[in-house]
Amino acid sequence: NAGVTQTPKFQVLKTGQSMTLQCAQDMNHNSMYWYRQDPGMGLRLIYYSASEGTTDKGEVPNGYNVSRLNKREFSLRLESAAPSQTSVYFCASSNVGTNEKLFFGSGTQLSVL
Amino acid sequence: EDQVTQSPEALRLQEGESSSLNCSYTVSGLRGLFWYRQDPGKGPEFLFTLYSAGEEKEKERLKATLTKKESFLHITAPKPEDSATYLCAVQGGYNTDKLIFGTGTRLQVFP
């Protein structure tokens, strides 16, 4: 039972570099999410996808793009990384509607120098 | 503005010493209040959902309760393995499914 799998676990980027965070779930969930978690702040929603083929902005979408490749996979891309994007990123999925009982991945710790 | 405030920020307990964590919220039209547990280096893990004032849910040593303004996570006779950060989140409003997370309470239970 893999659940939600995120790669990579750690990444260091230089300012201006680009990268894609990968996320896959094997629970046949319709909805998938990308959150960031910063010290002293709650989890903040970056983007979400309520179903295959749809994506919507969350609370903090600037500087990010997403792709819902299929029902299983939802990727997050940083086109030109900035130090303000240093954070821990979590992918999550849910089944019934949106937000009900989120299942989270183990996170990606990203540092932008 | 919708808001979630958790207190205390950190809590140290002796094994067996019961206590409560607080989650205060302001939201227009609460649709659900969620509790998650997060271990260091891992993603949050779902514990409970509460939907209406007066509702209570239990799981092992944990019991969550809900009023119109706040939720409590009661921990009875905690063990060291209960050490974690506990996150509260609310879903509210009539035109959004957005979850608003609190900053969490970091619980340490010592033997």
Task: Compute the nearest-CA separation of B40 from chain A (Å).
Answer: 10
**Mean pLDDT to the nearest integer, B27-33:** 87
What percentage of residues in chain A have a pLDDT greater than 70?
Answer: 96
Interface test with A, best of B97, B100, B105, B106 (most A CBs within 10 A): B97
The answer to whether A13 and A81 are in contact (CB under 8 A) is yes
Burial of A55: CB neighbours in 10 Å, binned 0-12, 13-18, 19+: middle
Interface of B with A in 5-34 (CB under 8 A): 32, 34
- Average pLDDT of chain B? 93
Q: What is the model's pLDDT at position B94?
A: 62
Q: What average pLDDT does range A91-105 have in this prediction?
A: 82
B38-59 pLDDT per residue, tens = 999 999 999 999 999 999 999 9
Q: A43: closest CA among A56, A53, A33, A52? A: A33
